[in-house]
């Protein structure tokens, strides 16, 4: 394995992990930000008010983006396995 091949594998891994985790993390971040703004405006500082909506939003995001995320992971895994076969031979 050359250095270029290793860098390409690592770059693909990082890009895939960002693409797969990005939507869920972004939605949780936006919901948390909106809740923080709401809490600052109303001065309601209930701890469960921050966790429950973020959990619900994350579950909804996983339901919406789950099949796409799975497809991305399968495609990346197939690409890596093809590269392993090429590297071995």
Has residue 83 got a pLDDT over 90?
Answer: no
Give the count of alpha carbons within 13 A of 80, CB side only. 14
Q: Angle at the Cα of 34 (from 44 to 60), degrees rounded to 5?
A: 115
The pLDDT of 50-78, averaged and rounded, is 94
Has residue 21 got a pLDDT over 80?
Answer: yes
Per-residue confidence (pLDDT) for residue 57, from 0 to 100: 95
Q: How much of the chain, in percent, has pLDDT values that exceed 90? A: 65
pTM: 0.79
Per-residue confidence (pLDDT) for residue 4, from 0 to 100: 87
Domain span holding position 53: 3-88
CA distance 15 to 12: 5
CA 51 to chain CA mean position, Å: 19
**Which CA distances in Å does 26 have to 31, 54, 64?**
9, 11, 14
Number of domains in the chain: 1
Average of per-residue pLDDT values in the chain:
91
């Amino acid at each position: 394995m050359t250095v270029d091949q290793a860098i390409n594998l690592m770059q693909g891994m990082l890009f895939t992990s960002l693409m797969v985790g990005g939507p869920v993390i972004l939605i949780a971040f936006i919901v948390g930000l909106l809740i923080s703004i709401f809490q600052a405006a109303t001065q309601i500082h209930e701890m469960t008010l921050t966790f429950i909506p973020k959990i619900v939003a994350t579950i909804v995001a996983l339901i919406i983006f789950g099949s796409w995320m799975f497809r991305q992971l399968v495609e990346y895994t197939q690409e890596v396995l093809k590269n392993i076969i090429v590297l071995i031979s």
